[in-house]
Structure 1
Amino acid sequence: MSALQSAEETVPEETSAPAPRPFRRPWTVWSAWTRRWRERYPAAARTLSVAVTVLAAVLVVAALVMPDTVVRLGPAEFLRIPAEAVIGAAVLLALPRRPRVAVAAATGVLLGATTVLNALDMGFDQYLGRKFNVILDWSLLTDAESYLEDSLGRGATLAAVAAVIALVLLVFTLLALAVVRLSNLLARHPGTATRGTLVAGVVWITCSSLGLQIGGVPIASDSTATALKAQARRVSDTLRDEAEFRKVARVDAFGNTPAGQLVPDLRGKDVVFTFIESYGRSAIEDPVMAPGVDRTLDVRTRALAKAGYHAKSGWLTSATYGGSSWLGHSTTMSGLWISNQQRYRTVMASDHMSLTDAFKKTGAFDTVGVMPGVQKGWPEQKWYGLDKVYNAFQLGYQGPKFSWSTMPDQYALQQYQERVHSKRPADGRSRMSLLILTSSHQPWAPIPKMVDWDRLGDGSVFKGIEAAGNKSADVIADTTKSREEYGKSIQYSVTALTEWLQRYGTENTVLVFLGDHQPIARVSGNHASRDVPVSVVAKDPRMLDKIADWGWTDGLRPAHDAPVWKMSSFRDRFLTAYGSTPHPKKG
């Protein structure tokens, strides 16, 4: 027999391929596995089942009684009886299986949405001093992401965003599963569940009628229903406000004033309006920040007086708090109360005259803006009436960013001096400038330090200062440190601005500077006012004589009892004080 034949004879007979294993859904596999596990370990299975049910109940109740402000977080808030749970149990008991499961899942998703909105309310209350607006505020989440990226870096920000998204999805999933599980428990024990629901209802009514409390917190709760009603009312108010504010924005006391009758008493002057980021009343009156800030204000008042400058200061109540600085800027300049993004968009699209545009309309002033915080297109330039705007990329800065702030205030002021202030306008015109200083923007780490003005160059001198400063993450996590560093940042900004005036100002310089809003609640406190300081500084005594009847305090530090005006009243008072004649424009 040949080797070939032997090989052929040993070839096994062809067999059919094994049948493919049937596809089993993951949920089916999981159910089978858990059933076998329960059969093998019945005691452990019962214990785990009870634990999961208790956890589900705790999650649902916690979501139902969750407060919408950080200051109300406490054990007593979570020891309440939610009316929504009693009503929900009664409804679920009355439904057949399939509708019950569907309603339970939908209820869990709704509860998840309410929980997320409560969390947003907490965050907005801490940072902006108001509740989250479901119509207007989604765009601010993008700003928050940009702020985190500037403060903590891109990697940490991406990780934080991913964690938040995962947490939100987890909240929705867990609450949906929790409500379904509790509904199944009710269905398995209808008699006990019915009696328990009736007892809970009686207890809730009794506690509500008698006003019973635990630690000052009512035992009977309807937090979720109240929160949903508040959200609905907020939506309704927002929609109604949009139409009403359009009418308000069309009315302007100086809207038809001829060019020759606008700010005649400032002709020939070099007028500079400056906003200092987060410069609020707390900087001057809070026991942690005030000593250093007040000392700086007093020192700088004396230094300016020695150079021939004098100042008067008062208070304005800002339309915003903790952030959204553009609302404070536009409120001051428009004479309108611009407290939300919708109003801001309405005004920016209108022909309502801004204070800065009033100078442009005279034809006697060049108008310039220096905006180191602007890092993208800024169509608002047209409404502000600015002939030229220098943004963050047009000031030649080659130094490091200081967290959110693109450059130190001292550098921005030096660039303003070199590019604008030192160059006289053509045709003998005057100049009006709008400056937005950013070094006192949160998280107040690292903070720039003053350097010799002649050494500023392209800003590279700040590299060592930035590297040696505090890390943003360390300051953000420490409330006391945040308050201390905030105070230092205000001292820096005020010093930079007033040193610029002392060094480069002239007989014709008129400086108006103010804060745009108070710092966040973690720094200013949960019950801080919305007031910000405002000062007018000039060498020409006639400029301060024009506002003598305002009752403001002499110097850069306003007295505690100095007049307080709404920020929206400043435009008309300023125009009137410096000779403008009202010619109303009616909508």
Structure 2
Amino acid sequence: MGPAGPYVRVADPLPHCGSAFPLLRTEGPRVSALNRVLTALSALLVLCALLLPNTLHTLTPDKFLRIPVEAVAGAALLLALPGRWRRVVAVLAGLALGALTVLNLLDMGFHAYLGRGFNLVLDWELLDDAQAYAGDTMGSAGAFGLTAGAVVLALLLCALLTLATVRLGELLARHRPVAVRSTLAAAVVWTTTAALGVQFAGLPVASDHASALVWLQTERVRATLRDEAAFAREARNDAFRATPPARLVPDLRGKDVIFAFIESYGRSAIEDPAIRPGVHRTLESSTGALARAGFRARSGWLTSATYGGSSWLGHSTFLSGLWIANQQRYRTVTSSDHLTLTKAFRKTGAWRTVGVMPGVRKGWPEAEFYGLDHVYDAYRLGYRGPKFSWSTMPDQYALEAFQRLEHGKERDKPLMAEVILTSSHQPWAPLPELVGWDELGDGRIFEGIEAKGEDPADVVASSARSKAAYGRSVEYSVTSLTQWLRRYGDEDTVLVFLGDHQPIARVSGEGAGRDVPVSIVAKDPEVLEKIDGWGWSDGLEPARDAPVWRMDAFRDRFLTAYGSTPSGRKG
């Protein structure tokens, strides 16, 4: 009791307080309990950030039951610093942890969709593609909400981790003797468990996970920067660069040659037990129908340079004969004069070269690199029907438009075409259905089909539904293409078609390979006789043990098989 009666003791003024939550320093049982809760949450948040895996399939509770060496070292550093520097280092550590957590989340997304981690140098522009994909799947409002939520989450993580590290740093300073002893004990335990290889639930108790992830990101950046100069030199080497036009693909003169890519048509479509039955029936029946029309097919496997997405990397790898595994390589090669498979046909002067690109919705300067005289993009195919999520039009319509605009016209030259089919692009909902070829018109016949289709958000949310829808989409694309060939192909038609990459990991499965099917179809028996030595399987379905080549090997093998002569000069 004081001279004026009972009194309440108030905490020091706010400027004196080093807490990350200064307003909670007022003493009292409730405030003290809340402070303890906030301190515990801060410690938990920091530990989770230090131990967070960078892939979804490894995100399990046992990953967080470890001792991170970074926490021990961080505590020792904060204890050794004076007040002002302690707060500065705590803030920087919190921001660094926030940035690492955001990178881990990006890694999770990239591993789930593209089968690889996020590249700090190259992949920022892919986030714009991701937003566009979200808009096609969820609508513009949903895409905006998703983008805004991602930005808010990233800022919130950085802010919370910064507050947490500052709070923990002040706690260590206020209880220095206990903190010093605890830090030393933790260091001893970490060192001992690391030396003895002590494990819990199959994982080492002593963790340096966060440091390893920082090293991983650093190595990615270093490797990317080293790769740029090395690939530029590689791209200048080309065995067919100086080959005279008369010695390029002489054995295909007079043929209409079509290179068609089927989006996401990967090995999983043929071998995954949940997807195979319908796709196998489609390939088998299409092989039979083509045979009855006089066509024969040979098929093998190619290993794509990409996985789950970034289709242009697969297209450029296949056509350039170079391994285009990232955006930097793509920019380098497409700004060069490297000879692509399609450009080889234009160089001869014996073919008209066109591209059918229903997925292209903006300027596409790469047309010159690919050697295409004319490109039909999403706006030049005359389509007036509904979009099917990302896909601007059904494959059947795109193929019929190609027939109307190019293949079916009177020409003074044969045709070489690059055709990109998009109906099997994720999210595989809603899916088009085959209609009568004479009923396609301007595509408005698909309005009712699109309206009754599945909601893409429902399909994306379920791995099982995604697999089923993906299988149906491949069946549709293969059937559309082979029906078109039977309807419009003749003795002088040669079709080469393949997948650009495997579907995303939640459909193809964790650890799935990058192989895609490739087929060559023709009526003229001499076309297939030229590739007898390749060991490919008869029909549209490659055998499990059919030869597997890297996709960049195809250009030179194809040019050589059909009579092209290497120039003997490189660079």
Match of 1:52 in 2: 38
Match of 1:338 in 2: 324
The Cα offsets for residues 10-60 of structure 1, whole Å up to 9 and x where unpaired, read as xxxxxxxxxxxxxxxxx98x99xx988765x71111111010000000000
Could you say what secondary structure the match of 1:312 adopts? Answer: strand
Matched, 1:392 2:381: no
Match of 2:262 in 1: 276
> Is the contact made by 1:255 and 1:584 (CA closer than 8 Å) also made in structure 2?
no
Match of 2:460 in 1: 476
Alpha-carbon distance between aligned partners in 2 of 1:38 and 1:152, rounded to the nearest angstrom = 46
Correspondence for 1:458 among 442, 446, 450: 442
Match of 2:237 in 1: 251
The Cα offsets for residues 315-363 of structure 1, whole Å up to 9 and x where unpaired, read as 0000000000000000000000000000000000111100000000001
Matched, 1:562 2:546: yes
Correspondence for 2:481 among 497, 504, 517: 497
Q: How many residues align?
A: 556
Correspondence for 1:514 among 498, 505, 508: 498
Match of 1:311 in 2: 297
Matched, 1:485 2:452: no
The Cα offsets for residues 266-301 of structure 1, whole Å up to 9 and x where unpaired, read as 000000000000000000000111110011000000
> Is the contact made by 1:251 and 1:584 (CA closer than 8 Å) also made in structure 2?
no
Matched, 1:324 2:310: yes
Letter in 1 for 2:169: S
Give me the identity figure in percent: 61
The Cα offsets for residues 63-93 of structure 1, whole Å up to 9 and x where unpaired, read as 0011111121111101110000000000000
Q: CA deviation at 1:364?
A: 0.4
TM-score normalised by L of structure 2: 0.96
> Is the contact made by 2:432 and 2:446 (CA closer than 8 Å) also made in structure 1?
yes
Match of 1:212 in 2: 198
Match of 1:172 in 2: 158
Q: CA deviation at 1:431?
A: 1.2
> Is the contact made by 1:127 and 1:323 (CA closer than 8 Å) also made in structure 2?
yes
Q: CA distance change for structure 1 residues 181 and 36 in 2, over 3 Å: closer, same or farther? A: closer
Unaligned runs of 5+ in 1: 1-26
Match of 2:128 in 1: 142
Letter in 2 for 1:147: Y
Moved over 4 A (4+): 34-39
> Is the contact made by 1:297 and 1:557 (CA closer than 8 Å) also made in structure 2?
yes
Alpha-carbon distance between aligned partners in 1 of 2:118 and 2:394, rounded to the nearest angstrom = 32
Matched, 1:163 2:121: no
Match of 1:43 in 2: 29
Could you say what secondary structure the match of 1:275 adopts? Answer: strand
Q: Give 1 or 2 for the bigger CA radius of gyration.
A: 1
Alpha-carbon distance between aligned partners in 2 of 1:424 and 1:571, rounded to the nearest angstrom = 29
Match of 1:227 in 2: 213
Alpha-carbon distance between aligned partners in 2 of 1:134 and 1:95, rounded to the nearest angstrom = 32
The Cα offsets for residues 522-547 of structure 1, whole Å up to 9 and x where unpaired, read as 00001101000000000001000000
Letter in 2 for 1:308: G
> Is the contact made by 2:75 and 2:169 (CA closer than 8 Å) also made in structure 1?
yes
Letter in 2 for 1:231: Q
CA RMSD of aligned residues (A): 1.5
> Is the contact made by 2:24 and 2:35 (CA closer than 8 Å) also made in structure 1?
no
Alpha-carbon distance between aligned partners in 2 of 1:423 and 1:344, rounded to the nearest angstrom = 34
Match of 2:510 in 1: 526
The Cα offsets for residues 475-514 of structure 1, whole Å up to 9 and x where unpaired, read as 0101100000000000000000000001111110000000
The Cα offsets for residues 389-436 of structure 1, whole Å up to 9 and x where unpaired, read as 00000011110000000000000000000001001322xx22100000
Match of 2:11 in 1: none
Match of 2:185 in 1: 199
Q: CA deviation at 1:584?
A: 3.6
Matched, 1:551 2:527: no
Match of 1:18 in 2: none
> Is the contact made by 1:252 and 1:584 (CA closer than 8 Å) also made in structure 2?
no
Match of 2:10 in 1: none
Q: CA deviation at 1:259?
A: 0.2
Match of 1:61 in 2: 47
Unaligned runs of 5+ in 2: 1-13
